[in-house]
A = this chain, B = another copy of it.
Amino acid sequence: MGLTLGELAVQFGCELHGDPQLRVTRVATLAAADEGALSFLANPQYRRQLSGTRATAVVLDAASAADCPVAALVSANPYATYARMAAALHPASPLRPGVHAGASVDPAARIDPTAQVDAMAVIGAGARIGARCHIGAGSVIGAGAQLGADCLLYPRVVLADGVRLGERVIVHAGAVIGADGFGFAREGAEWIKVPQLGAVVVGSDVEVGANTTIDRGAIDDTVIEDGVKIDNQVQIAHNVHVGAHTVIAACSGVAGSTRIGRRCMIGGMAGVAGHLDICDDVAVAGLTLVSHSIREPGMYSGSIPAEPVRKWRRLVARFKRLDSKKD
């Protein structure tokens, strides 16, 4: 069990300072590690924990290697290297191909024989489940939905009719992909429902967090490009287009028909208004409102950090008097 440091160094392209025969079986933090554990140093905030670690080996960069009191696996990108080593040391449970007797599969669905479908899952007519997919317990796959190879749906995911996923997509529990967009036409005091006829098209290597919602398009599709990572409880409205490798942190929302570029980073609880165009390489701070299109890459913010309430109340009172003052 486990891997030797020599094996890790070769497999993941690290320079090894230490005994290649030493063996690690698990990962641990610098502070909690003991014999047999592999740890890592990527965030400078934890650097002071390095000298006292009892890990068998630490993944770190060349600049920190000299200070490492145990074996060192030196990498130009220690966090990415750690991620890959952790996956090697803690592999996912192997798939158990086949459809659980307690699942409900429409006869007109096509499920690859290498896929695993768990209890209480429901798969609709015309759905196609690719090779080595894992459909978690209680998930519901709508009619005509398509999953590429190696997708992993955790329990209780909903993919509505016609939703399409690429390969290696991970969807966490409770996420809903393909519910109706929020489209209504006003008529007097009432609201007439506008049929939501598009789908959601998700690229490959996308991850969607727990209880996140991504609505189907009104006419055209909502699109999530390759490599996008979306955290929990994010709301993506109809006809949004999210560019490749963009990450969106928890509790954020993107309103309808907005285009977000590639490699953007949207902070937690940020809100992006509808019908905007956000260019590539934009970072948005948490709790920030983006109400206009952004044409220049860079970091944008709109949140004010908390203060003790007495000070805050004075600030707000001053703020509210700003408009009565001369310039």
Q: In the complex, what residues of B have CB within 8 A of residue A320's CB?
A: 307, 315
A167 at the B interface (CB under 8 A): no
Stoichiometry (number of copies): 3
Chain B CB within 10 A, most for which of A42, A263, A292, A316: A316
A273 at the B interface (CB under 8 A): yes
**A119 smallest CB distance to B (angstroms):** 4
The answer to whether B289 and A289 have CB atoms under 8 Å apart is: no
The answer to whether A28 and B219 have CB atoms under 8 Å apart is: yes
Given A104-B102, A155-B140, A197 and B302 touching (CB < 8 A)? Answer: no
Question: What residue in chain B is nearest A193 (Cβ atoms)?
Answer: B83
**A277 smallest CB distance to B (angstroms):** 12
Given A102-B104, A104-B100, A174-B176, A79 and B316 touching (CB < 8 A)? Answer: no
Cα A155 to Cα B138 with chains together (Å): 10
Q: Which of B79, B194, B251, B275 contacts A253 (CB 8 A)?
A: B251
Pick the interface stretch among A3-11, A15-23, A61-69, A229-237. Answer: A229-237
Given A245-B190, A249-B182, A174 and B213 touching (CB < 8 A)? Answer: yes
**A106 smallest CB distance to B (angstroms):** 9
The answer to whether A319 and B321 have CB atoms under 8 Å apart is: no
Cα A213 to Cα B208 with chains together (Å): 13
Against B, the Cβ 8 Å flags (1 = close, 0 = not) of A260-298 are: 001100001101010100000000111111111000101
Q: Which of B82, B299, B306 contacts A301 (CB 8 A)?
A: B306
Chain B CB within 10 A, most for which of A160, A237, A268: A268
Pick the interface stretch among A84-92, A108-116, A127-135. Answer: A84-92
Interface size on A, residues (CB 8 A): 120
A305 at the B interface (CB under 8 A): yes
Given A84-B192, A155-B140, A158-B174, A287 and B308 touching (CB < 8 A)? Answer: no
Cα A42 to Cα B228 with chains together (Å): 32
Cα A194 to Cα B176 with chains together (Å): 24
Given A77-B185, A179-B173, A191-B229, A291 and B306 touching (CB < 8 A)? Answer: yes
Cα A203 to Cα B6 with chains together (Å): 41
The answer to whether A253 and B229 have CB atoms under 8 Å apart is: no
> What would 27 A/B residue contacts be, using CB atoms closer than 8 Å?
A27-B197, A77-B187, A79-B186, A80-B185, A83-B185, A102-B122, A120-B120, A120-B122, A122-B155, A155-B158, A156-B176, A173-B176, A189-B227, A189-B244, A210-B213, A210-B215, A250-B255, A253-B268, A287-B289, A288-B306, A289-B306, A291-B306, A301-B312, A302-B304, A304-B304, A315-B319, A315-B323
